[in-house]
Structure 1
Amino acid sequence: MQHPEENPWQVKSETRVYDNPWISLTEYQVINPSGNPGIYGKIHFKNRAIGIVPLDADMNTYLVGQYRFVLNAYSWEIPEGGGPLADDPLAAAKRELLEETGLVAKNWTAIQRMHLSNSVSDELCMIYVATGLEQFEAEPEDTEQLIVNKVPFDEVYRMVCAGEILDSVTVAAVLKVKLLLLEGTLSL
């Protein structure tokens, strides 16, 4: 599909409003595409989002439950986390899977790249399927209080379709895996 190459936004100035080890927030004074002045905020992520759908030989997967501070709610998700932008995303995925579940996988397939909230952030996400699983001891971070459940993949798919799982990375990953399974293009 063709689209314009030129950016219709003009940046007049920018101010760093907030910065921590994970994100920064910048406010821009802009001229918007219609020619009017305005402001725009951008959240820059210093890590790449990583999601993993681990699948065992019996088509079970693993959900990680944790209380999400920002949502003030409990959330069930696939194993996920972040990896520095300069690092190999697959290495980050392997680390996250071990950290959260204690699983090590022999086989890895990248299935999806996506922007998570492109109206306010530049966060990029990579999603993988991990197979050939072997169980070791989980190594959660001290900020994580996790519950890990082994669940049949079809049950997780049902939970996503019923709106019982709302995490965007999990929803996208589960729907993509289901599509690949139906198409017969995912090697297990």
Structure 2
Amino acid sequence: MQHPEDNPWQVTSQKELYDNPWIKLTEFKVVNPSGNPGIYGKVHFKNRAIGVVALDANLNTYLVGQYRFALSEYSWEIPEGGGPLHEHPLDAAKRELLEETGLTANHWTEIQRMHLSNSVTDELCIIYIATGLEQLEAHPEDTEQLIVKKLPFNEVYQMVCAGRIKDAVTVAAILRVKLMLMENSLSL
């Protein structure tokens, strides 16, 4: 008998449908867990998702606003972006924070790893808290038209609770930090 955590899917063939510098789309012909034939599409991400909650000594944090092409709407988020798989995630986090906000940090703590949209992608997200902040100059990528806001952490938490922030990485990060604050397990 198969253990419940073992893979019940059988791949009979696979075909690459699309490939660009950021993603690859593959269609698999499968035998599903019920024993029936089917297909399954998988989006492979060529980068890790990286998120940073930057906190100052007064519990202010930073949000980045930008228009998200895929959603056709404006989005407020923590500083986040992609880190190539060959790059150490912390190096990617430091780069993203500096690019988007102009901030550097003396202290970094990884607080969460999670899968995003795990029914169709293999994307991994790693979230950090950055403290001991210093303001330098931001250098956003040419695809980014950003607005940076410094807000009290609790105001950002309320934005998440009210549904005004919908970005999954930001929601997870802010809720995780709120829990850490409630448990007194976060040192600034």
TM-score range, shorter chain: over 0.9
- Distance in 2 (alpha carbons) for counterparts of 1:18 and 1:155: 41
Distance 1:131 1:65 in 2: 21
Query: Which runs of at least 4 in structure 1 moved beyond 3 Å after TM superposition?
Result: none
Partners in 1 of 2:128 and 2:24 — Cα distance? 27
CA distance in 2, matches of 1:173, 1:17: 33
| Long gaps (5+) in structure 1 | none
- Work out whether 1:78 is the aligned partner of 2:51: no
Q: How far does the alpha carbon of each residue in 1:96-137 deviate from its partner, in whole angstroms, 9 at most, with x for none?
A: 000000000000010000001110000000000000000000
Question: Superposed, which structure 2 residues align to 1:138-177 within 5 Å?
Answer: 138-177=138-177
* Residue aligning to 1:102: 102
- Corresponding residue SS for 1:133: strand
Quick one: distance in 2 between partners of 1:39 and 1:87?
33
Aligned mates of 2:7, 2:96 — CA distance in 1: 36
Q: Structure 1, residues 118-168: CA drift from partner, whole Å, max 9, x if none?
A: 100000000000000000000100000000010110000000000000000
- Cross-structure match for 2:27: 27
Shift of 1:5: 4.2
Distance in structure 2 (CA, Å) of the matches to 1:4 and 1:137? 51
Alignment size in residue pairs: 186
1:187, CA displacement in angstroms? 1.2
| 2-structure distance, mates of 1:4, 1:104 | 45
Q: Which structure 2 residues correspond to residues 110-121 of structure 1 after superposition, within 5 A? A: 110-121=110-121
State the one-letter code of the partner of 1:171: V
- Stretches of structure 2 lacking an aligned partner (at least 5 in a row): none
TM-score (norm. length: structure 1): 0.98
TM-score, structure 2 normalization: 0.98
Q: Using the aligned pairs only, state the percent identity.
A: 76
Name the counterpart of 2:125.
Answer: 125
SS in 1 for 2:21: coil
2:38 pairs with 1:38: yes
Q: CA deviation at 1:89?
A: 0.2
CA distance in 2, matches of 1:6, 1:184: 38
Tell me the alpha carbon deviations over residues 60-119 of structure 1, each in whole angstroms, 9 at most, x when there is no partner: 000000000000000000000010111100000000000000000000010000001110
